Amino acid sequence: MDYSVFVKEQIEEIKTSVGNHLAINALSGGVDSSVVTVLGHKALGDRLITVFIENGLMRRDEPEKVVKIFSDMGIPVRLIDAQKEFLGVLKGLTDPEEKRNAITRTFYATVFGRLVRETGAKFLFHGTILTDIEETVAGIKRQHNILAQIGIDPEKEYGYQVLEPLKTLRKDGVREVAKLLGLPPEISQRIPFPGPALATRIVGEVTEERLATVRTATAIVEEELGDTGAFQYLAVLLNDRATGIVHGKREFGQIIVVRCLHSLDARTATPAELPWEKLKRICDRITAIPDVNRCLYDLTPKPPATIEYI
Ligand code: XMP
């Protein structure tokens, strides 16, 4: 496929669909929403409002880094601080599906809905790709067309229409378009990171303190495993504790699980056979995080496990 033709066609199509109206899109920094952002800005300029919703669940420095990458490309991104709203709805929740639903609703119904009403945008861009649609039809995925899934008719409730410029591409195609549009490798080659972000890696309640722990562990794992070429690597905070000895004293500390997986499309995955030295260094660094005294490497493939823990 000639991706430069795809880019030209999509820009024309966006111009025609949106006309003189305003459009809005939420950027996460993932490759799909990044490509949509660049295509939309090429077509509409400042009639596309791009927001990055800081939900408090992102990785270390992620919101600022993503905003900077785009501002360096001449694309302004509004950083919306909604940390309190997300942490508020997550308070006391421990059930995985309840946590996911709370995040989805807060994102689309509360925060994004408010922005759409405030800006008067008539079109919303979504980074849906072909695989999302296929997996939804096959009943594998529950994340495509989230608005309909949570009972929101966008046209009726917000008066906007959803546009999905990437719906004919697969991930490899989106990565090619990202390169063609001049997005840096840290975006075009970015490993998958789920929409509910670090909340998928905290078993039990999501609190600011527990987020800080898993965020630090995530930074260590990403630093140490970035050169493996693996499909995805991550850190998870368990809801259990274990006895350990820290500074000569017994403590009942927290447990971090490390996961590093090879996969083609995330439908199945196998654990990477990491060098023992690498595993030991990760263990040393993770058990140096305050209150953490155990680090486990998860050998479970998908299936029977999933990649994330929630
Ligand atoms: P699981 O845990 O189901 O994850 O094996 C498969 C792949 O999908 C990612 N993932 C998500 N991505 N929104 C996303 O955009 C989500 O809610 C979500 N849940 C999981 C996960 O990181 C893995 O790559």
pLDDT tens track for 235-283: 999 999 999 998 899 999 999 999 999 999 898 999 999 999 999 999 9
Decide: 253 in ligand 1 pocket, CB within 6 A: no
How many angstroms separate the alpha carbon of residue 194 from the centre of ligand 1? 5
Q: Would you say residue 234 has pLDDT above 90?
A: yes
Decide: 71 in ligand 1 pocket, CB within 6 A: no
Decide: 195 in ligand 1 pocket, CB within 6 A: yes
How many angstroms separate the alpha carbon of residue 128 from the centre of ligand 1? 14
> CA-CA distances (angstroms) from residue 279 to 188, 236, 305?
28, 15, 21
Residue 15 φ/ψ, nearest 5 degrees: -60, -45
pLDDT in tens, 26-41: 999 999 999 999 999 9
**Of 63-67, 95-99, 172-176, 265-269, the least confident:** 265-269
Residue 119: the pLDDT is: 94
Which residue of 36, 104, 202, 307 sits with most ligand 1 atoms within 8 Å of its CB, as the best mutation to test the pocket? 307
**27/55 Cα distance (integer angstroms):** 12
pLDDT average, residue stretch 14-34: 97
**9/80 Cα distance (integer angstroms):** 31
Decide: 127 in ligand 1 pocket, CB within 6 A: no
**Closest ligand 1 atom to 142 CA:** 17
Which residue's CA lies nearest to atom 12 of ligand 1?
Answer: 194
Contact 27, 37 (CB under 8 A): yes
How many angstroms separate the alpha carbon of residue 108 from the centre of ligand 1? 18
How many angstroms separate the alpha carbon of residue 193 from the centre of ligand 1? 7
Contact 281, 295 (CB under 8 A): no
Residue 87: the pLDDT is: 98
Contact 57, 196 (CB under 8 A): yes
How many angstroms separate the alpha carbon of residue 308 from the centre of ligand 1? 7
Q: What is the pTM for the complete model shown?
A: 0.93
Burial environment of residue 223 by CB neighbours within 10 A (0 to 12, 13 to 18, 19 or more): exposed
Decide: 306 in ligand 1 pocket, CB within 6 A: yes
Share of the chain above pLDDT 70, in %: 96
